[in-house]
Structure 1
Amino acid sequence: MKQIGMTLGDPKGIGPEVIAKALNLLPPEERRRYKIYGDLHVTPKNDLHTAELALASLDAAIEDAMTEKISGIVTAPVNKHRLQLIRPSFTGHTEYLKEKSGAKQVMMMFGTSETTSLRMALATTHLPLQQVSSRLSKEQILSQLQLLSTSLKTSFGISSPRIAVLGLNPHAGENGSLGKEEQEIIIPAIKAAQSQGIQCDGPFPADGFFRTQLGCRERGEASARGLVLEASPLSLQTQASPFDAVLAMYHDQGLIPMKLLYGYQAVNITLGLPFVRTSPSHGTGEDLAGKDLANPQGMLAAMRLAVQLLRPLTPSLRN
């Protein structure tokens, strides 16, 4: 049985609580797969001590993963502002794992344990929105499409993955009238990837993509005028998608539909590392900490997907 490490996250948040609850939902033999880094019952003295505990847990797990003592890591959420008290350059798990592992390139992707669900990768991660455009380049997006395509093959068993690329601007720039990034950066990157045999298409306008391309529809009754009645965002359903993954240009563009469609089942996956890493898609939840109110389903989903990613691959039905 391959072992998976679990980091505390921020001890002032719900990380320790959801870890304990998730483990208690597993049969005893399955619990033995997981190694906890740190004390789930620790009471931090102050913010500095909290940051030290969170970083020590993460560093110990990374070291064991790099020396193959464990095969993967499930990380509980951290408070970035608090960690910056001792690590000013810290912007998130993804960037920190890249630095500590020496990985050439990493990528943030969200998915679920259901093989037919949407997978959402991000071209940029933890950036202020005003910086997104300046961080995009043809070379960067091409490199990400290469990593995403390779990871879908090697980690998910999809022999011929198909990737949709979203635009940055409203209406995907509308042929340059609403922004030049699609014409000057995104489309050239897509064409370069296609010339290398990567199956990708776009850029798609993000506002309409999830309905028109993923088959999202609302439940409700149609009136004589064709209006949908009694429908709400929470009743959205997805049908089979023609794409195996979507590349969004920035954080909220990709995560809003993922969290809307899948809730706690949406799991953060880091592609490009020499080991498996997953994390629940929720935050530290400090307003719930210590009240025994935290829902462990997000942590349980991250644990299950980590196990799934460590299993021997079987060829996908999609070829």
Structure 2
Amino acid sequence: MKDLHLPLVAITMGDPVGIGPEIISKALCDPRIKNCCQPVVYGDARRLKAGALLAPMDRAVEEIASIHDARCDAHTLCVVNPHPVDTDNLAWGHPSAASGAAMAAYLEAAIDDALAGRISAIATGPINKYALKMANIHFNGHTEILAHRTGTQKYAMMLAGPRLKVVLATIHIRLKQVSKALSEEMITTVIALTDAALKTRFGLASPRIAVAGLNPHAGESGLFGDEETRVIAPAIESSASQGILASGPHPPDTIFYRASQGEFDAVVAMYHDQGLGPFKMVHFDDGVNTTLGLPIIRTSVDHGTAYDIAGKGIASAESMVAAITMAAGQARCLNRQKDQASI
């Protein structure tokens, strides 16, 4: 490896028939990646080379069976392939049981190496829930697989960018189920996960966390709903009693703007689209999904497999670049804190 001081970041390919091979190839040519980490791709070398035909790389590709075999330098990229498949039968934009099994195997190998301390962080390429099910893998996505493989019970999704960070209290559930799903304990847990991540992974000594209300105008004293007074406000009070700088419930129509202007370091949103709508207005191209609460560092692109444009050479790599650089940044921040604790 070229620089032992740079964190070793695993980049999982995602679905090999999606845009993952292309955006990884593009990202690895970006100077921001070369200066922040030592990248190792977990995927298929032939698919990566096919992606590189769409976005030429400036280094050779060497496929290896295990991270233990990595002997790559600045001119050679190592590709760990724990699940070789017949790539001749893979077509861009056409997921299959084979591509679904491969994408899961790439992720699981990276998780195992992260848990063993052989890599510093994971940046994941896009996977597809339908392809997972075709491969008889019954998880809804990355987060669920990561939580299962790491034995994590309490975790949360953060969408992060330079101007705005949003954490979701509930994720992929029906809108009519949100109110019933919210509880004081759950919101308190999400606030605590947010506070811990901002301190340990982003280096903020005293992070300011805004908590959005569920209803218009944050309920307006119960006129538009009682979730704010019944569960959200008590969770904020409980968090504040633990020394966390949490405030709210704030009206959802203004709090994301205030946070994007620097008034807060993160916003806890009550449901998926409440948080992701404002976030993607600000960070559509460079947003990153990072999982809080895991014992390992994981970031991801904030988009899907984009089968409709796979193989066309037009996919943007900005979110992939952002995910890799954020993973490396979190690893460096964590290492600094470990060094300081050992002094």
Question: Shorter-chain TM-score: which interval?
Answer: 0.7 to 0.9
Alignment partners' CA distance in 2, 1:31 and 1:158: 20
Number of residue equivalences: 287
Alignment partners' CA distance in 2, 1:31 and 1:151: 20
Segments of 5+ residues of structure 1 without an aligned counterpart are 215-237
> What residue in structure 1 maps to residue 128 of structure 2?
79
Q: Any conservation in 2 of the 1:16–1:40 contact (CA below 8 Å)?
A: no
Confirm or deny that 1:185 pairs with 2:231: yes
Instruction: Note the 1:299-314 alignment, pairs <5 A.
Output: 299-312=320-333
> What residue in structure 1 maps to residue 75 of structure 2?
none
Alignment partners' CA distance in 1, 2:175 and 2:232: 17
- The alpha-carbon distance between structure 1 residues 290 and 204, as it changes in their structure 2 partners (threshold 3 A), is same
Question: How far does residue 32 in structure 1 lie from its aligned partner after superposition?
Answer: 7.3
Which residue among 17, 20, 39 is the counterpart of 2:44?
39
Q: Any conservation in 2 of the 1:5–1:36 contact (CA below 8 Å)?
A: yes
Q: Any conservation in 1 of the 2:233–2:248 contact (CA below 8 Å)?
A: yes
Report the secondary structure of 1:264's partner residue. coil
- The alpha-carbon distance between structure 1 residues 202 and 3, as it changes in their structure 2 partners (threshold 3 A), is same
Which residue among 8, 16, 19 is the counterpart of 2:13?
8
Alignment partners' CA distance in 1, 2:322 and 2:211: 26
In proportion to residue count, which structure has more helix?
Answer: 2
Percent of matched pairs sharing the same residue: 45
> What residue in structure 2 maps to residue 234 of structure 1?
none
Alignment partners' CA distance in 2, 1:181 and 1:257: 22
Alignment partners' CA distance in 2, 1:21 and 1:153: 31
Question: Greater shift after overlay, 33-42 or 188-197?
Answer: 33-42
Confirm or deny that 1:125 pairs with 2:171: yes
Question: How far does residue 123 in structure 1 lie from its aligned partner after superposition?
Answer: 0.7
Question: Greater shift after overlay, 84-93 or 193-202?
Answer: 84-93
Report the secondary structure of 2:284's partner residue. helix
Alignment partners' CA distance in 2, 1:165 and 1:256: 16
> What residue in structure 2 maps to residue 235 of structure 1?
none
Question: How far does residue 87 in structure 1 lie from its aligned partner after superposition?
Answer: 4.4
1:237-260 Cα deviation digits (max 9, x unpaired): x53x22111100111111111111
Alignment partners' CA distance in 2, 1:31 and 1:119: 21
- The alpha-carbon distance between structure 1 residues 273 and 291, as it changes in their structure 2 partners (threshold 3 A), is same
TM-score (norm 1): 0.84
Alignment partners' CA distance in 2, 1:269 and 1:185: 26
Alignment partners' CA distance in 2, 1:107 and 1:27: 27
Confirm or deny that 1:89 pairs with 2:138: yes
Question: How far does residue 177 in structure 1 lie from its aligned partner after superposition?
Answer: 2.5
Report the secondary structure of 1:147's partner residue. helix
- The alpha-carbon distance between structure 1 residues 19 and 28, as it changes in their structure 2 partners (threshold 3 A), is closer
Amino acid paired to 1:165: V
> What residue in structure 2 maps to residue 279 of structure 1?
300
> What residue in structure 1 maps to residue 54 of structure 2?
none
> What residue in structure 2 maps to residue 203 of structure 1?
249
Q: Any conservation in 2 of the 1:61–1:73 contact (CA below 8 Å)?
A: yes
TM-score (norm 2): 0.78
